[in-house]
Amino acid sequence: MAVTSSSKGTALITGASRGIGAVYADRLAKRGYDLILVAREEARLQALAARLGSETGRSVSILAADLGAKADLAKVEATLRTDRTITLLVNNAGTAALTPLLQSDIDKMQDMIDLNVTALTRLTYAAAPAFVARRAGAIINIASVVGISSGLNGVYGASKAYVLAFTHSLHNELADKGIRIQAVLPGATATDLWALAGRPYQDLPASIVMLPEDMVDAALVGFDLGEVVTIPSLHEEDEWKRFEAARRSLSARFGNSVPAARYRSGALASV
């Protein structure tokens, strides 16, 4: 048994029973965090908790919850508000869709918004005040590259764009209060999220699919480097820096008291 003696506090991880969330659980336990694992599948959580507890010597507890259900979500919010050992929140739980807008069931799209956006937001609001009061803590939000690129289902992409924008806002508000914020934007990752969305990742070109272990390990290096946005699959760092610089430069030009000339009355008549 590999035992880590010192503790970094407790990490609460949502969507922890499989895929990216289960890898985060493994890596964070080995880094010295105790764990609270949250997911719907209690049996899988119990098996993972038993294994990680045995392998690392960390305290690993489980909280079976469906974050799309208000009562279950409220239980996790209460844990974040009251458990003072929690120092890290990993907002990983989410779902995806591949169907075009007109072929998508609106109720399923609402369910996706409830999980990808509403639950993530409420859990962050539950955790942040305690972190700010202690001037210590970190929040990792799992977004996706589709949040900045078109493709797949529009509601899914929009939900991940929200996570990215929300993370930027959190960083702007909380960084000077001692809170670490990171958005992780995976590309195609070898998890069963793809099959649940209707297309197994095995159907994708192997050259674009990353193992979840590699994705999480890279994301944690980005976390250690202090990155606000980490894109493990983007090899050219300068491309992201140019994108961000262009975004900031453009946003500085939005404050004008009159519309642009092209939108003024009579502008079309002169074309």
Q: Give catalytic residue positions.
A: 156
Residues facing 181 on adjacent strands: 139
CA distance 159 to 95: 10
CA distance 163 to 120: 8
Asked whether the beta carbons of 157 and 146 are under 8 A apart, the reply is yes
Which residues lie below 8 Å from residue 204, measured CB to CB, with a gap of 6+? 188, 194
* CA neighbor of 28 nearest in space, from 50, 1, 59: 59
Asked whether the beta carbons of 193 and 178 are under 8 A apart, the reply is no
CA distance 43 to 76: 18
Element (H, E) at 219: helix 212-224
Helix, strand, or coil here: 138?
A: strand
CA distance 86 to 250: 38
Residue 106 token pair = 């609106």
Which phi-psi region, left, alpha or beta, contains residue 71 (left: φ > 0; alpha: ψ -120 to 50)? alpha
How many Cβ atoms from other residues are within 10 Å of residue 249's Cβ? 9
